[in-house]
Amino acid sequence: MNIYPDKRVERSKAALKTALLELLEQKIFHHITISEIVESANYNRGTFYAHFKAKEALLEEIVTETLEEMIHQIKHPYRTDTLVDLHNLAVEDISLFTYFLQNARLYKTLLSRNIQIDFRHRMAGAIEELFIAEYDYELPQDSSLDQKWLYVYRAHGIAGLIIRWIEEDFSEPPLYMAEQVVELMLVSTAVFKVKKSGAGYPQPSRKKRQ
The domain made up of 56-187+197-210 is a member of CATH 1.10.357: yes
Contact residues for 130 (Cβ-Cβ < 8 A; gap 6+) = 71, 74, 75, 155
What is the pTM for the complete model shown? Answer: 0.87
* Mean pLDDT computed over 128-149: 90
Domain ranges of the chain: 1-52, 56-187+197-210
Percent of the chain clearing pLDDT 90 (strictly above): 69
pLDDT above 70: residue 201: no
pLDDT higher than 70, residue 1: no
Tell me the CATH number for domain 1-52. 1.10.10
3-state SS, the chain, equals CCCCCCHHHHHHHHHHHHHHHHHHCCCCHHHCCHHHHHHHHCCCHHHHHHHCCCHHHHHHHHHHHHHHHHHHHHHHHHCCCCCCCHHHCCHHHCCHHHHHHHCHHHHHHHCCHHHCCCHHHHHHHHHHHHHHHHCCCCCCCCCCCCHHHHHHHHHHHHHHHHHHHHHCCCCCCHHHHHHHHHHHHHCCCCCCCCCCCCCCCCCCCCCCCC
pLDDT (tens digit, 9 = 90+) per residue, 12-54?
Answer: 999 999 999 999 999 999 999 999 999 999 999 999 999 999 9
pLDDT-derived band at 5 (thresholds 50, 70, 90) equals low
